[in-house]
């Protein structure tokens, strides 16, 4: 319970640091990046699905290279499609070739259409434009649906 409280506190602090409208956000210079990443990884591994999803999204926003393995695990093994979708987002934002390849493979092999579509969208927008063909109307609808 104490761990979940700490992770929630970190997420609340980060929510203040990262306004929803900001395209590119970085941690303040005084932030203890290692501690923040460690707590977000703890959140990613918690039993609370909402916390897992939020932690994955925040790991992507701060481009936490050290969270590659836990995010890959979430993409491949998490039962919740929202967590897998958030992991795909994070892996694409981080940009590590291993992570982006895993997202590209999720487009083909994930058992959920929403995860496949979101993975394709994130790969297309954050990794390599032109990989997947989206029509303009589809792009606008997906952007609204996947507004992270």
Residue 92: pLDDT over 90: yes
Digit-coded pLDDT (tens) for 51-74: 999 999 999 999 999 999 999 999
pLDDT of residue 22: 42
Q: How far is CA 19 from CA 27, 31, 55, in A?
A: 12, 16, 16
CA angle 6, 27, 60 (to 5 degrees): 75
Residue 147: pLDDT over 60: yes
Residue 24 lies in a domain: no
Enter the tokens of residue 123: 């790969």
Residue 26 lies in a domain: no
CB 90 within 8 A of CB 57: yes
Residue 16: pLDDT over 70: no
Over residues 94-111, the mean pLDDT reads 96
CATH value at residue 42: 1.25.10.10
Dist. CA 27–CA 47, nearest whole Å:
26
Residue 25 lies in a domain: no
Residue 87 lies in a domain: yes
Residue 22 lies in a domain: no
CB 72 within 8 A of CB 106: no
Domains held by the chain: number: 1
Weakest mean pLDDT among 60-69, 106-115, 129-138: 129-138
Q: Which domain holds residue 110?
A: 2-17+32-145
Give the N- to C-terminal CA distance of the chain in Å, as an integer.
28
> Rounded to two decimals, what is the model's pTM?
0.77
Residue 97 lies in a domain: yes
Weakest mean pLDDT among 10-19, 87-96, 118-127, 137-146: 10-19
Running DSSP on this structure, what letter comes out for residue 21?
A: T
Q: Shortest CA distance to 69 belongs to which of 27, 98, 40, 49?
A: 98
């Amino acid at each position: 319970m104490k761990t979940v409280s700490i992770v929630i506190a970190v997420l609340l602090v980060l929510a203040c640091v990262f306004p929803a409208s900001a395209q590119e956000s970085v941690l303040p210079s005084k932030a203890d990046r290692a501690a923040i990443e460690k707590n977000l990884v703890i959140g990613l591994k918690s039993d609370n699905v909402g916390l897992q999803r939020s932690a994955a999204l925040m790991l992507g926003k701060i481009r936490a290279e050290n969270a590659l393995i836990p995010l890959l695990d979430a993409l491949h093994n998490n039962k919740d499609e929202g967590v897998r979708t958030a992991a795909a987002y994070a892996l694409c934002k981080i940009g590590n070739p291993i992570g982006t390849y895993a997202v590209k493979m999720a487009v083909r092999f994930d058992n959920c259409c929403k995860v496949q579509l979101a993975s394709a969208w994130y790969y297309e927008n954050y990794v390599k434009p032109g990989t997947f063909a989206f029509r303009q109307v589809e792009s606008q609808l997906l952007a609204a649906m996947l507004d992270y």
